[in-house]
Amino acid sequence: MLDDDVPAWWRGLGLDGLIDVHVHFLPDQVMNAVWAYFDQASTHYGTAWPITYRTSVEERLKTLALLGVRAFPALVYPHKPEMAAWLNTWARDFADRTPGCVPSGTFYPEPTASAYVREALDLGTRIFKVHLQVGDYDPRDEVLDDVWGQLAEAGTPVVAHCGSGPIPGRHTGPGPIGEVLRRHPRLTVVVAHLGMPEYAEHLELTSYPNVHLDTTMALTPFTEAMMPFPRDLVPRLADLADRIVLGSDFPNIPYSYATQLQVLADLELGDGWLRAVCHDNGARLLGV
Question: Binding residues for Zn ion, per CB under 5 A?
Answer: 249
Q: What is the DSSP letter of 128?
A: E
Specify whether the backbone of 140 is left (phi greater than 0), alpha (psi in -120 to 50) or beta.
Answer: alpha
* CB-nearer residue toward Zn ion: 20 or 249: 249
Please report how close the Cβ of residue 20 comes to Zn ion at its closest, in angstroms.
11
Compare residues 133 and 281 and give the one whose CB is closer to Zn ion.
Answer: 133
Q: Which is nearer to Zn ion, 55 or 185 (CB)?
A: 55
Contact 22, 192 (CB under 8 A): yes
Cβ–Cβ contacts within 10 Å for residue 121, how many? Answer: 17
Instruction: Write down the least CB distance from residue 12 to Zn ion, Å.
Output: 28
Q: Where are the beta strands (DSSP E) in the chain?
A: 18-19, 69-73, 101-102, 104-106, 127-131, 158-161, 189-191, 212-214, 244-245
Strands 158-161 and 127-131: parallel
Nearer to Zn ion, 128 or 273 (CB): 128
Nearest to 148 by CA among 193, 123, 178, 192: 178
Least distance (Å) from Zn ion to the CB of residue 226?
16
Query: Closer to Zn ion at the Cβ: 22 or 279?
Result: 22
Residue of minimal Cβ distance to Zn ion: 249
For the bound state, the minimum distance from the C-beta of residue 75 to Zn ion, rounded and expressed in Å, comes to: 6
Residue closer to Zn ion, measured from CB, 198 or 249: 249
Q: What angle in degrees, to the nearest 10, is found between the helix axes of 84-97 and 113-122?
A: 10
Sequence length of the chain is: 288
Q: Left, alpha or beta for 227 (phi > 0: left; psi -120 to 50: alpha)?
A: beta
State in angstroms the smallest separation of the CB of 218 from Zn ion: 12
Q: Pick the closer one to Zn ion by CB: 6 or 159.
A: 159
Residue 271 CB, nearest distance to Zn ion (Å)?
27
Q: Is 117 exposed, middle or buried (0-12, 13-18, 19+ CB in 10 A)?
A: buried
- CA torsion through residues 245, 250, 254, 260, sign: positive
User: CB of residue 25 vs Zn ion: minimum separation in angstroms?
Assistant: 11
